[in-house]
Every structure is written in C-alpha cells, then in structure tokens.
Amino acid sequence: MSPVRRCSRTACKRQAVCTLTYVYADSTAVLGPLATHVEPHSYDLCAEHADRLTAPLGWEMVRLPGEQAEPSSDDLEALANAVREAAKPSRRGEPVGQGIEVGRRGHLRVLRSRPRQDR
C-alpha cells in the first residue's frame, strides 16, 4: 500500500486529490487528477486548495476532469493512435559506439555518436 500523499501547500495536512503543473512555454497552469508518481516540478493539492486555485496574472487555467469522468471517444481514439504509433517498428537504429562531446552549455553536454570500431 502506497503512503498517502499530502497537499503541497505549507502547513496543510490534508490528503492530495489532484496535481498542479505549470506549462511555462504556454503560460498555462494545468490542474488535473492526482499524478501516479510524485514529480519534482508538480504540486499535489487537496480539494480545498484546488478549488481556490487561480492562475498567475496573464496565464490560462486549465482544469482537467477527475478520474470519475468517462473518457470521451476522442480520448479513446487518441489512446488507440498512440498505441499504434508505439507498436510501429523503429526505422532508425540506436546510436552505437561512444559519444563525442561537440558542445557544452552549463552542466549539459551535446554528444554526437561515433561508429563502433570493429576489432
């Protein structure tokens, strides 16, 4: 049995029922069903804090239906398409050999694949 997840709001001890995620590129706050895993950049909220939540000034607030809602035919079709796409064989093979560093930005490195040398 997994431990009960608590609301992310300071000093709130209530059980979390939904997850808040910010999509910074779109200036959108998304409030949806409780995520299956704890994510470092998401916030679990109790029902009271979720109901009172507002988006930052200039942002859009999207409230996704909870798990009790029946999936629409569009949702089911999108899921079926995703499964079909994932089942397709890969056209490109995975890179082989060791990567060659071609760039660096802060702690991130850009690597290019170098073919494996046959011995």
pTM: 0.54
Domain locations in the chain as residue ranges: 18-87
pLDDT (tens digit per residue) in 63-87: 988 654 455 667 667 777 777 777 7
Distance CA 119, CA 113 (A): 18
pLDDT (tens digit per residue) in 29-55: 999 999 888 888 899 999 999 999 999
**Residue showing tokens 């200036």:** 27
**DSSP codes of every residue in 45-93:** E-HHHHHH--PPTT-EEEE---TTSPPPHHHHHHHHHHHHHHHSPPSSP
